[in-house]
Amino acid sequence: MKVPQLDLNAQYLTIKDELEAAILGVVRQHAYILGPAVEKFEKEIAQYIGMKHAIGVSSGSDSLLLSLMALNIGEGDEVITTPFTFFATASCVARLKARPVFADIRPDTYNIDVDCIKKAITKKTRAIIPVDLYGQAAEMEDIVALADKHGIKVIEDACQAIGAQRNGKRAGAFGWVGCFSFYPSKNLGACGEGGLIVTNDDDLAVRFRALRQHGMTVVYHHDYLGINARMHGIQGAVLSVKLKYLDRWAKGRQAVAAKYERLFAEAGLNEFLTPPVVMKGNEHIYHQYVVRAKHRDELLEHMHKATAGGTIYYPVPLHMQPCFKYLGYKQGDMPVTEQACREVLALPIYAELTDEQQRYVVDTMKEFYRK
């Protein structure tokens, strides 16, 4: 058997006609960039997340970059974030000539550790970018309270957590702004690149709408130095269709996650694997289902030979990336993150994953540990 890590085709087949009609609609209108489909999606998603404004942009990476640009972040500024995330969370800081400052993570949820943020705050700190990793919100209330105390802004990187909730509030709705990605493999995936910024601040929303098109509020009048980061009409149309199914897909992923735990117990694998920990008050949407595994690298090799999936998010922490060498971090500076990099393993998860496929994944793992 072959179990893909993610099967985009399985999802596509369930909404094929609706999706293709929506795309064709945009093509026939030639509303390729922004336009009615994007405006419709912005209204729907703002309501879904529970925020006043949603601004469609070109990618999750650009949503983070534009957020820092709106704060005028630049040389001499520091921005605190986690070293255990996708590169874009920290590269946006460095691209603006500010300094990414890393704060270590919690060993249970892999999200940024609030005590480590406290220790990293200096007079130069302008913002904190917590990440809702793997689809579970970070301790956003505590982070926002800490930031408020110091007069700094919180940019919530919810790129992996669309639809997740914490104490009844959606991920992305906690900070000064929330950032999302619609990269095709995300839980809400476009047919190409896409991203989103959400905010409750009216003036800020106007500013983001300008910043995503070269800082123009009136055409050819540039109030700010912006970039080209507009959402495409086709993506707006695709995302409107898919948004209707997002909660259903999340329930499917949650069922797969619960079943993994049952199957691990049945297979006697609990001494080798630590399943994901969901913090009290959190609803996890399992963008990734990540376990800590003993002998991780050998296990992964065995799984790949058996075509049973398995991927590592993330093998190298950001403070050890060659391009961040100039920041001066060394091995041992972020021990919890470094250990996670050696032990985490993401297993196949998506709403359409069959019982047979899931059992094959766990049987393959059992074969490795029990031989």
Ligand X SMILES: *Cc1c(COP(=O)(O)O)cnc(C)c1O
**Of the two residues 67 and 181, which places its CB atom closer to ligand X in the complex?**
181
* Minimal distance, residue 130 CB to ligand X, in Å: 10
**Of the two residues 138 and 299, which places its CB atom closer to ligand X in the complex?**
138
d(CA 147, CA 153): 6
DSSP string, 27-45: HHHT--BSSHHHHHHHHHH
Closest CA to 5 of 303, 262, 308, 248: 308
* Minimal distance, residue 179 CB to ligand X, in Å: 7
* Minimal distance, residue 173 CB to ligand X, in Å: 17
Residues in region 157-216 near ligand X by CB under 6 A: 157, 159-160, 181, 183, 193, 195
Count CA within 13 A, CB hemisphere, residue 120: 29
Is residue 308 part of the contact set for ligand X (CB under 6 A)?
no
E strands, the chain, where? Answer: 53-57, 78-81, 99-102, 125-129, 153-157, 165-166, 169-170, 177-181, 195-199, 216-218, 221-222, 273-274, 282-283, 289-293, 344-347
Q: Which residue's Cβ has the minimum distance to ligand X?
A: 60
Is residue 83 part of the contact set for ligand X (CB under 6 A)?
no
Residue written as token pair 């609706």 = 18
Contacting range for ligand X; rule: CB under 6 A; set: 29-37, 54-62, 113-121, 325-333: 54-62
Angle between helices 36-49 and 233-243 (to 10 degrees): 40
Is residue 138 part of the contact set for ligand X (CB under 6 A)?
no
* Minimal distance, residue 281 CB to ligand X, in Å: 21
d(CA 65, CA 73): 10
Contacting range for ligand X; rule: CB under 6 A; set: 26-34, 72-80, 106-114, 152-160: 152-160
Backbone torsions φ then ψ of 369, nearest 5 degrees: -75, -25
Select from 35, 56, 60, 310 the one that contacts ligand X (CB under 6 A).
Answer: 60
Backbone torsions φ then ψ of 363, nearest 5 degrees: -60, -40
Is residue 61 part of the contact set for ligand X (CB under 6 A)?
yes
Cα 124–chain centre separation: 27
Residues in region 240-269 near ligand X by CB under 6 A: none
Contacting range for ligand X; rule: CB under 6 A; set: 86-94, 240-248, 265-273, 352-360: 86-94
Contacting range for ligand X; rule: CB under 6 A; set: 8-16, 85-93, 265-273, 299-307: 85-93
d(CA 320, CA 327): 10
By CB under 6 A, name the binding residues for ligand X.
Answer: 59-61, 85-86, 88-89, 131, 157, 159-160, 181, 183, 193, 195
